[in-house]
A and B are shown apart, each in its own frame.
Chain A
């Protein structure tokens, strides 16, 4: 073991075995990160292939008769053809899952697998709270809120039109 590293650890009563565990932790998280990363890439590719076959990944044009709801800029506007990134692909996935029953099972499984594998990614220990702000644990509820609420601009209108689900 690096002697200097050992000396520095001793300043806060860290023993040699503690430093070994830290180094082991670093390597195992790196390896896990690579495995999960590859798995996500493969699953995402398969998902993309399925969706491509069904939809061609082209954003749909709203029917010309659809009136735009009033309230700009607070009401989300339908995307124009060729625009709308990054909101169009998730919307398409959602629509696809609802309409194609058989393949939706496969796609649903893949999305779940990707989310599950992403959750295995090593949780950062450093750089988590801005100085003078305060760290908070994310709950399962936050996770579902993040899934449910699309981060578009102008989420809240004066006097609380916006509220979390």
Chain B
């Protein structure tokens, strides 16, 4: 089978000005041997040659890399869609350059109202981030607010809605997973997780999509008997998408949080070779029913969703295809349906 790469999420530097308590990459200090500008240009060409449609630049904080604009420009010049994910605190300095690039979307992390956000991300970050969102909206750039929920901030969701409603913002909600800086004790319980899912479902029904599109990321799902809008046909890591570390490592998804899943490095092999290697991304490309873990092996949907989000599955159970944070299972356990 031949796979088509559609989306690359590229950590262009691990350098970050914040030290967020839930950061899966433990970002802060750049990696020892980050790709040079020339290597980044070459990688852009390789992505384009593979027909990649979307490249999302993230970090660390992408704007801390001095050549971020040249890399972003290269992506655009090669005909790919540019997405940027940022903490927003430095964005004001670069808003003209960002506008010039015409990114498809800019994602800004906002993790709650002021108290919770600053508890997670540090002092004096809330206003800067909110300002960044406003600036992007003023410039007419599609903006997605990314909220990573944990015990610290999930109760802020109803209040946060008021910040975004009818402002032309997309709102992406995802779950903090216990790797990197994030402590397992702060992770949402299954009940809290389900409460946030009910919140997403309620907002989707209550608001028209243009007023406030609320989206649960791939860690939310699957096959509920209560919540509308659940659809998931397996993890995309290595199927349509890849993650790229700032030193050139290629991984199915950057949130797997484990060097063991690096399939190769673009300094040693071309991206095409890594992508087309029949043994790459075997956990997804060679998936078979028998790979389902104990949480999923008896589930009628197991072969469709392939055991849910592999990042969630691996960080919680040390194996793939075994995601315990699954609506179908939670509903069976909690509500007996």
Contact = CB atoms under 8 A, between A and B. Distances in A.
Most buried by B among A130, A152, A154, A164: A130
B220 A12 contact: no
Given A125-B201, A134-B146, A29 B51 contact: no
A128 B191 contact: no
A133 B9 contact: yes
B48 A126 contact: no
A157 B218 CA distance: 31
A82 interface: no
A98 interface: no
Interface stretch (A14-22, A46-54, A61-69, A101-109): A14-22
Contact of B202 (A2, A21, A30, A132): A21
A147 interface: no
Interface residues of A, number: 48
Contacts of B205: 21-22, 25
Nearest to B4: A151
Contact of A158 (B49, B85, B157): B49
A97 to B, nearest CB: 26
A130 to B, nearest CB: 5
Nearest to B171: A135
B230 A8 contact: no
B192 interface: yes
B78 A126 contact: no
B107 A134 contact: yes
B16 interface: no
Contacts of A133: 7, 9, 56, 83, 85, 107, 241
B51 A151 contact: yes
Nearest to B58: A132
Contact of A123 (B104, B107, B209, B225): B209
B69 interface: no
A124 interface: yes
A23 B198 contact: no
Given A131-B218, A133-B83, A134-B172, A23 B49 contact: no
A131 B219 contact: yes
B154 interface: yes
A26 B215 contact: no
A19 B202 CA distance: 8
Given A12-B155, A132-B9, A125 B170 contact: no
Contacts of A25: 201, 204-205, 228
Contacts of B174: 129, 131
Contacts of A151: 4, 51
Contacts of A18: 198, 202, 206
Contact of B217 (A28, A123, A130): A130
A128 B170 CA distance: 12
B221 interface: yes
A125 B170 CA distance: 12
B222 interface: yes
B224 interface: yes
B2 interface: yes
Contact of A5 (B204, B218, B219, B226): B226
Contacts of A131: 174, 177, 217-219, 253-255, 309, 311
B232 A126 contact: yes
Most buried by B among A5, A127, A152, A156: A127
Interface in A118-165: 122-137, 151-160, 162-164
B129 to A, nearest CB: 15
A26 to B, nearest CB: 4
Given A22-B198, A130-B241, A160 B9 contact: no
Interface in B198-239: 198-202, 204-206, 209, 213-222, 224-232, 236-237
Q: Kindly list the 4 A-B residue pairs having the minimum CB-CB distance in the complex, ordered from nearest.
A: A125-B229, A134-B107, A156-B48, A126-B216
7 contacts: A8-B191, A124-B231, A126-B216, A126-B230, A128-B216, A131-B309, A152-B51
Given A126-B197, A133-B9, 6 more contacts: A11-B195, A22-B228, A122-B228, A127-B220, A133-B7, A162-B48
